[in-house]
Amino acid sequence: MTILQVNKVSQRFGELAAVNDLSFDVEKGEIFGIAGPNGAGKTTLFNVITGFYQGSGDIIFDNVNIRGLRPHQICHRGIVRTFQIPQLFLTLPVVENVKVGAHFGVTGAHDEKESINEAINFVELKGKENVIAANLNLFDKKRTMLAAALATKPKLLLLDEPIGGLSPIEVSQTITLFQKINKELGLTILIIEHLMKVITEIAQRLMIIHNGEKICIGSPQEVTKDKRVIEVYLGG
């Protein structure tokens, strides 16, 4: 079952087409990867999907066209994202940062405290609930941002280069955590990652974009052998 359809989406900044007539589908329950050179339009695409930019074309999520909705409306429908550089309330403790997600994302009656505790436990931050965010290391800041995202109770999780700046051990732990989120929580994941070694390990399908356009989509094994991908991205 398709959970997200991106149909002929474009985003222009003056004469520059950061995303150009891009179309692809994401299946419910899969981990879908997006990679490409710097400046390829990956983060801009996320900004269009989540309503930070309006763009053109259609974005169908759960059979509803969400293009034109504001970011908070899209979050309420079940799409949440993280950022390459952690976006946190640095003067607040971990638990209050996660509380913002729990309060902001879910609509209707729910146990907010339970959502917060579940998210903190899931990302393995138990015991650090009262640490001020500014005092966390990068790994824990990223996990706090992820916990806040999970506390919104999303259906689709967008991850923008989530392993940047992490040590090899932290990268391994993060990949395991994403796989756990996908399997145990049943979340569909759309992940941008620059490192092909990481994206081919975690993604079930992979799309390469260049200059805002799709050049290849398929399994990681197929994509890494594609001549166009080798030319524009892998440096062959």
Tokens 């609930």, located at residue:
129
Residue 2 pLDDT more than 90?
A: yes
CB 211 within 8 A of CB 225: no
* pLDDT band, very low/low/confident/very high, at 110 (cuts 50, 70, 90): low
Q: What percent of the chain has pLDDT over 90?
A: 81
Radius of gyration for the alpha carbons in the chain, expressed in angstroms and rounded: 17
Q: Which residues contact 96 (CB under 8 A, 6 or more apart)?
A: 89
Confirm or reject CATH 3.90.380.10 for domain 1-78+191-236, answering yes or no: no
CB 214 within 8 A of CB 24: yes
pLDDT value of residue 106: 61
Instruction: Quote the mean pLDDT of the chain.
Output: 93
pLDDT value of residue 143: 98
Q: 124-128 long-range CB contacts below 8 Å, 24 or more apart?
A: 124/177, 125/94, 128/94
Paired tokens of 210: 């260049």
Residue 79 pLDDT more than 80?
A: yes
CA 204 to CA 46: how far, in whole Å?
19
Residue range 43-66: mean pLDDT, rounded: 95
Q: How does pLDDT run across 80-103, given as a tens digit for each residue? A: 999 999 999 999 999 999 999 998
Residue range 102-115: mean pLDDT, rounded: 75
H helices then E strands: how many in the chain? 9, 10
* pLDDT band, very low/low/confident/very high, at 194 (cuts 50, 70, 90): confident
CB 151 within 8 A of CB 98: yes
Residue range 71-82: mean pLDDT, rounded: 94
What pTM, to 2 d.p., does this model score?
A: 0.94
Q: Quickly count: other Cβ atoms within 10 Å of residue 118's Cβ.
A: 17
Domain spans of the chain? Answer: 1-78+191-236
pLDDT value of residue 120: 97
